[in-house]
Structure 1
Amino acid sequence: MKRHRLLIVSALGCAMSAPAEPPLVNSNDAVSAATQANGGGCYPASISPSLLDMLVLLNPEWAALDVGTHSPPLSDPVTIHGTTDFVEINEPGDFPADHITDDQTTFLFADPADFGLVATGNVSPLGPAGGNIELEWEIGSYPVFAWAGRGDRLTGVGRWIWDCGHPLPDPTGTCSTTTSQACVVDSDCGPPRCPACVGGETCTGVTFNYHSEVHPLQAVAVSRIHGYDDSKESRAGGPATRTDVWINADGGGAGDKCILTHHPSPFLLLAIDCYPLSQPIANVNSSDFEFDIPLPPRPPGHKRPPKVTVFDQTPADLPRPGVTTSFVDGPNPFVHASVHMTKAIQGQLPSRVGKTIISRWRDDETPVTRLRVKVTALEIVNPLKAVAPVIPPKQVCSITTAQDCSASACPTGETCLTVGGPTPGWRLFLEANGEWKEITGLEKVDEPVSLPEDLTFDVGLLQGDRLRLHATGKSLGCLEAQLYGQSLGRDVSLYGLTDGATCLADTSPDIGAFDVTFTGPDFGSGGRSASYVTQSIGGDGGHCSATTSQLCLTNEDCPGESCVVTGGAFKLHYTLSKVHARNGERDECSDDVDHDCGAGVDRCPKRGGSDDRGSRCEP
């Protein structure tokens, strides 16, 4: 923990007009000749592609939107500012050959000054599921303490790209002479797709809706205003802004030069193996990471600058750079922060850096309602696992993959691998007002089960706040359970083209939406404590039409019957308790209203950590 003396800067009240919003980027530029020069840009697939025809969408899957003075795939990072709409992991799953783990996606409403980073496809009917631009980072590179929640302010730095895997042509074009023939690319205007077309026709009039994204991120600062204690742990306290910072050059597959390089033929993707990834293109030391921190409303009559406390969240044994903060006063005061990424520490530049910054007005007496959210159980109603796996299990040697090692031992130095078969496991992340935690221990889930949990969120709510509980997760399909983190050629070698395509198509089933909100003054606590069991809504899975006791994922799980989809694959059991409540009958600990500390009955428990304040006995 480090407290800072702030440099105080006055924001002069000059009469200035708001800058004009920059124009949106045209999504058709993703396939322009200028963008495709030197191996840049995107390459759309045919209007009726075969499986292998779709390889062109991955060559590469992400192209730099503006390479500037560089040659593709290199480009300078951009900085984006905005307000978070919502956050989720990629629930169906990502293309596995260029991912080590799933992407975490932040759907952002970019500030008007940053609209120049938003493409026309982003604001079309085929735009993102939320916000107007997506920010993505593999969850293996992005710890949950720095994830955002709805309404949070965000500053991000990362690679500005076209999402080449999703051309989204709408409307499609027509062939230049045979105008009755719909098309997406020029090859659609000739045999075999258009036998009636004449030689030399081209496809005209296509409107592509490629999305621009910042993907992957390399630095992020997320700020939210609620009631927070002075701690790197998210604990309720007085009115404050909590800002979580994460900086990391590791962007996963989307940040590796080998993955991002365009090849003369997309079929070369079957022969090139980029794993283990070793060519990150982000440089987090080219500049310091700077961002602004909004402040809670200034209490009437307050003249003093805010107190700013910085806690380090950097992984052990890595350089911990300093943070400089300055207070900028004015009608909308804020704190400007800079993480010193360009300065070596004992001869080593910082690489992966985490910080938590708590900013508050001194002696702010604004009331805060403190609530404890305790998750007590996760009930898997339907594990969403097919009765028969999409690929029967088989055993192959690790190098001599054509050899069945269930029948004979592998050559010396090789191992016997099992491919196909059941795909047990879930992943589930839960947030309370922007604080995220993963529910662990779900690796073996393959049947209905109720799992005891002990997960606690300590939330401080200001007037006008709401308590929001939101989950994102999945039941693992073959794609995620077996294909991530290895090349496309390796997948084909292990599974074969047919089984490999089957596994690739087996994306993770939808476990349903979980998004509940509680309003003041009690925020669902009933004034003291209340317990809930809330089931997810929608999603996949259900029961067989006649044998209703039989759970199913698809019709194939119900021979001679059909699968009646009901959704709601899980239930969450949790208790909402109002802390600092007064019952007028006994003394209570400030940390635990169920703990009677009056008349020497018991002492209040101490909280761990050198920066913590002790729990108080209050009447």
Structure 2
Amino acid sequence: MRAMLLALVLAAAGPPARAPAAFIDSNLAVSPAAHANGGGCYGTPLVPGLLDMLTLIDPEWAAVDVGSHSAPFSDPITLHGTVALAKINEGGDLPADHEGDDQNTFITVDAADLGFVGTGNVGPHGEEAGQLEVEWEFPKYPLFAWGGRGDRLTAVGRWIWDCGHPDPDPPGSCSLTMSQPCAIDGDCKPPTCASCDPAGTETCVGVTWNYHSELHPPQAIAVTRTGGYSVVHGAVRFGRRSTRTDVWISPDGGGAGDACLVSHIANPLNLLNTECFPLHKPLADVNAADFAFDIPLPPRPRGAKRRPRVRILDRSLTLPRPRVLATFVAGPPPRVHVVVKMAKADARGRFPSKAGKTILAAWRPDPTPVTHLQVQVIAIEIVNPLKPVTPAIAPLKRCAVSAQDCATAPCPPLEGCLSLGGTVRGWEAFVEVNGDWRRLANLNAVLDPVTVQQDLTYDLGVLAGDTLHLHATGHSLDCREGQLYGLSFKRALALYGFLPGATCLNTESHNIGTFDVDLPGPDYGSGGSSATHVTQSVGGDGGHCSVSTDRRCLVDADCPGQSCVVTGGSYKLHYTITKLR
């Protein structure tokens, strides 16, 4: 990485004010206007059958407003808000339209942007306090740019309805047989409704759909946090009070950002024979416009006469380095307006394909007291690995191309023999300290209780009144997330067969529990100098057998003749907190 100092230009005018907007009606997701030209979501019966589930992912994400485009294309929106929670999807996601798990960032949306929030987000099936999720597959989204609680976020991306969660509540009623609840017209026709008009003329009226609106996926994100930061040898370390803004720009949105996977198909059954991998139709165009956002600054300290100092770090020498313009806006409130010049080609006519930046902004001088802390994560002790005694499907051997059984006969030339099914090893876990995220190492082979040593050091500055916040997210892999990502239905069913394939698709990862610790000053859990802690996760899956209480379990089948008593708390995190000054 390299650092450079930008000159700041004093600007007097602030950004234009925006009036608060009302929530957008989630019923619009299934409106005739949304369905024009293949857009919108499609509802399912109140009691859906197995194949009705395909309707929910045809498409799984539909643009809220295609504007002048035709579905699935739409103009990106810009969203502003504050991070309430960031985590991965513990149960995992549908592999047939994902290359990896989604990272979910729950945003408390600014008043001016509430028009992007669906009524379903605040209804009986809504997110807490009407938040909106920003979702990006985490293999596409580097950890340095993940948000933490309280961080400010600006994101540009695809504004969608999450079609996979229609949640009709309250349901409607059939137009003549008013006592018959319904979600779609098919619920009001024989044989589903035996008392309805035998001519099949009734329709479903008055249903309330609770589709959530999301920004999914983004194509550009800026996350800003305030603490004690400086640049040491090209990396961010402890320093004086400053803001740190991490920026990631990429057209690679994974499955939710690919036109092949988000285009509606007239007959959902054809999804079982559709091949979109490898993905090659990205919806995002990161060069259509520059990425602009504001970095909020703390109040100007007494005696700070100069403009704030801004330093910009490139996150990788292998990434393109678009020009960054930073303009100081005196406010109120004071801020730095940043423009990443993604729409400008270099001297050879090349546009930047991706960009990763970290921007530090600080007043000069700033005597605000900052406490220097180091947090070292030294081990994860896995108490219950959350692996079933009997795997979801039996072990299989299949040729990599022809998918023929290679358990007893060799594969054709140049084809490898794949080992599928059976016991799925591994965990995935991530730990943040005040918004700084790291991945726990060497968890790929987890199968039994084990303590895995770690070597993660967080060097940070905490301001008076703030807490030291440690938070983790993760899951124990099972068949779906452990083996199927990036495989279409067609490919997965060819390799596994229909019944084993369907079983694997339905076997999601397991929740390892919640780890969320806040430690206040003045010692922040250091005991005044240094202290080691062992904290167990709370809740989640797994427990012990009801009679053989020393026997761990995940499901009742792990305890023959008994039941599995769910206690959660599948792991303990070992960490040391040191107060340096």
Determine if the TM-score, normalized by the shorter chain, exceeds 0.5: yes
Aligned equivalent of 2:113 = 114
- Whether contact under 8 Å (1:59, 1:266) holds in the other structure is yes
Cα distance in 1 for residues equivalent to 2:48 and 2:26: 21
* SS of structure 2 residue aligned to 1:229: strand
Pairwise CA distance, 1:246: 0.4
- Whether contact under 8 Å (1:325, 1:335) holds in the other structure is yes
The Cα offsets for residues 567-605 of structure 1, whole Å up to 9 and x where unpaired, read as 10000000110012xxxxxxxxxxxxxxxxxxxxxxxxx
- Whether contact under 8 Å (1:398, 1:416) holds in the other structure is yes
Structure 1 residues 319-468: aligned runs within 5 Å: 319-345=320-346, 346-401=348-403, 403-468=404-469
% of aligned pairs identical?
A: 56
Pairwise CA distance, 1:419: 1.9
- Whether contact under 8 Å (2:18, 2:112) holds in the other structure is yes
Pairwise CA distance, 1:105: 0.8
Pairwise CA distance, 1:218: 0.3
- Whether contact under 8 Å (1:107, 1:130) holds in the other structure is no
The Cα offsets for residues 17-45 of structure 1, whole Å up to 9 and x where unpaired, read as x7531121100000000011000000011
Distance change in 2, residues 1:574/1:12 (3 Å)? closer
Pairwise CA distance, 1:527: 0.8
Pairwise CA distance, 1:130: 6.5
- Whether contact under 8 Å (2:314, 2:358) holds in the other structure is yes
- Whether contact under 8 Å (2:325, 2:339) holds in the other structure is yes
The letter of the residue matching 1:339 is V
Aligned equivalent of 1:47 = 46
Pairwise CA distance, 1:189: 1.1
Q: Which moved more, 1:300-309 or 1:95-104?
A: 300-309
Cα distance in 1 for residues equivalent to 2:273 and 2:572: 45
Aligned equivalent of 1:470 = 471
The letter of the residue matching 2:150 is G
* SS of structure 2 residue aligned to 1:8: strand
The letter of the residue matching 1:294 is P
Distance change in 2, residues 1:222/1:578 (3 Å)? same
Cα distance in 2 for residues equivalent to 1:353 and 1:10: 29
The Cα offsets for residues 59-101 of structure 1, whole Å up to 9 and x where unpaired, read as 1000011001100000010000011101011110111100001
| Alignment partner of 1:306 is 2:308 | yes
Pairwise CA distance, 1:131: 5.6
The letter of the residue matching 1:520 is G
- Whether contact under 8 Å (1:476, 1:507) holds in the other structure is yes
* SS of structure 1 residue aligned to 2:260: helix
Cα distance in 2 for residues equivalent to 1:357 and 1:25: 34
Aligned equivalent of 1:282 = 284
Pairwise CA distance, 1:546: 1.5
Cα distance in 1 for residues equivalent to 2:397 and 2:195: 49
Pairwise CA distance, 1:284: 0.3
Cα distance in 2 for residues equivalent to 1:74 and 1:56: 20
* SS of structure 2 residue aligned to 1:167: coil
Cα distance in 2 for residues equivalent to 1:508 and 1:12: 47
Cα distance in 2 for residues equivalent to 1:215 and 1:19: 23
Cα distance in 2 for residues equivalent to 1:11 and 1:77: 26
Aligned equivalent of 2:551 = 550
* SS of structure 2 residue aligned to 1:88: strand
Cα distance in 1 for residues equivalent to 2:253 and 2:270: 23
* SS of structure 2 residue aligned to 1:258: coil
Aligned equivalent of 1:6 = 8
- Whether contact under 8 Å (1:22, 1:113) holds in the other structure is yes
Q: How many residues are paired up?
A: 575
Pairwise CA distance, 1:500: 1.8
Cα distance in 2 for residues equivalent to 1:400 and 1:451: 39
Where does the alignment leave 5 or more consecutive residues of structure 1 unmatched? 581-619
Pairwise CA distance, 1:411: 2.6
Cα distance in 1 for residues equivalent to 2:225 and 2:107: 14
Aligned equivalent of 1:219 = 220
Compute the RMSD of aligned alpha carbons: 1.4
Cα distance in 1 for residues equivalent to 2:43 and 2:235: 46
Cα distance in 2 for residues equivalent to 1:309 and 1:426: 37
Pairwise CA distance, 1:170: 0.5
* SS of structure 2 residue aligned to 1:324: strand
Aligned equivalent of 1:587 = none
Aligned equivalent of 2:240 = 238
The letter of the residue matching 1:79 is T
Pairwise CA distance, 1:516: 0.3
Structure 1 residues 493-508: aligned runs within 5 Å: 493-508=494-509
The letter of the residue matching 2:272 is L
Pairwise CA distance, 1:201: 0.9
Cα distance in 1 for residues equivalent to 2:501 and 2:176: 40
- Whether contact under 8 Å (2:222, 2:293) holds in the other structure is yes
Cα distance in 2 for residues equivalent to 1:11 and 1:23: 27
| Alignment partner of 1:201 is 2:188 | no
Cα distance in 2 for residues equivalent to 1:364 and 1:485: 50
* SS of structure 1 residue aligned to 2:247: strand
* SS of structure 2 residue aligned to 1:417: strand
Cα distance in 1 for residues equivalent to 2:455 and 2:283: 40
Structure with bigger RCO (C-alpha 8 Å, 6+ apart): 2
- Whether contact under 8 Å (1:173, 1:183) holds in the other structure is yes
Pairwise CA distance, 1:234: 3.5
- Whether contact under 8 Å (2:251, 2:282) holds in the other structure is yes
The letter of the residue matching 1:45 is T
* SS of structure 1 residue aligned to 2:359: strand
Where does the alignment leave 5 or more consecutive residues of structure 2 unmatched? none
Pairwise CA distance, 1:426: 0.3
Cα distance in 2 for residues equivalent to 1:468 and 1:67: 40
Distance change in 2, residues 1:246/1:115 (3 Å)? same
Cα distance in 1 for residues equivalent to 2:286 and 2:7: 26
| Alignment partner of 1:98 is 2:97 | yes
Cα distance in 1 for residues equivalent to 2:416 and 2:440: 33
* SS of structure 1 residue aligned to 2:72: coil
Aligned equivalent of 1:586 = none
The letter of the residue matching 1:384 is L
Aligned equivalent of 2:571 = 570
The letter of the residue matching 1:558 is C
Aligned equivalent of 1:513 = 514
- Whether contact under 8 Å (1:108, 1:130) holds in the other structure is no
- Whether contact under 8 Å (1:136, 1:217) holds in the other structure is yes
The letter of the residue matching 1:361 is W
Cα distance in 2 for residues equivalent to 1:106 and 1:297: 27
- Whether contact under 8 Å (1:134, 1:214) holds in the other structure is yes
Cα distance in 1 for residues equivalent to 2:18 and 2:246: 29
* SS of structure 2 residue aligned to 1:499: helix
Cα distance in 1 for residues equivalent to 2:417 and 2:6: 57
Cα distance in 1 for residues equivalent to 2:306 and 2:472: 40
Pairwise CA distance, 1:154: 0.5
Aligned equivalent of 2:537 = 536
* SS of structure 1 residue aligned to 2:338: strand
The Cα offsets for residues 349-405 of structure 1, whole Å up to 9 and x where unpaired, read as 10110000000001111110011001111100000000010101121223433x321
Cα distance in 1 for residues equivalent to 2:261 and 2:14: 48
- Whether contact under 8 Å (2:372, 2:580) holds in the other structure is yes
2:262 to 260, 271, 276: 260
Q: Which moved more, 1:373-382 or 1:120-129?
A: 120-129
- Whether contact under 8 Å (2:92, 2:508) holds in the other structure is yes
Pairwise CA distance, 1:129: 4.8
- Whether contact under 8 Å (2:60, 2:164) holds in the other structure is yes
- Whether contact under 8 Å (2:299, 2:334) holds in the other structure is no
| Alignment partner of 1:157 is 2:159 | no
- Whether contact under 8 Å (1:319, 1:348) holds in the other structure is no
Aligned equivalent of 1:85 = 84
Cα distance in 1 for residues equivalent to 2:257 and 2:238: 36
Cα distance in 2 for residues equivalent to 1:48 and 1:479: 25
Structure 1 residues 477-496: aligned runs within 5 Å: 477-496=478-497
- Whether contact under 8 Å (1:85, 1:130) holds in the other structure is no
Pairwise CA distance, 1:207: 0.3
- Whether contact under 8 Å (1:107, 1:131) holds in the other structure is no
- Whether contact under 8 Å (2:4, 2:312) holds in the other structure is yes
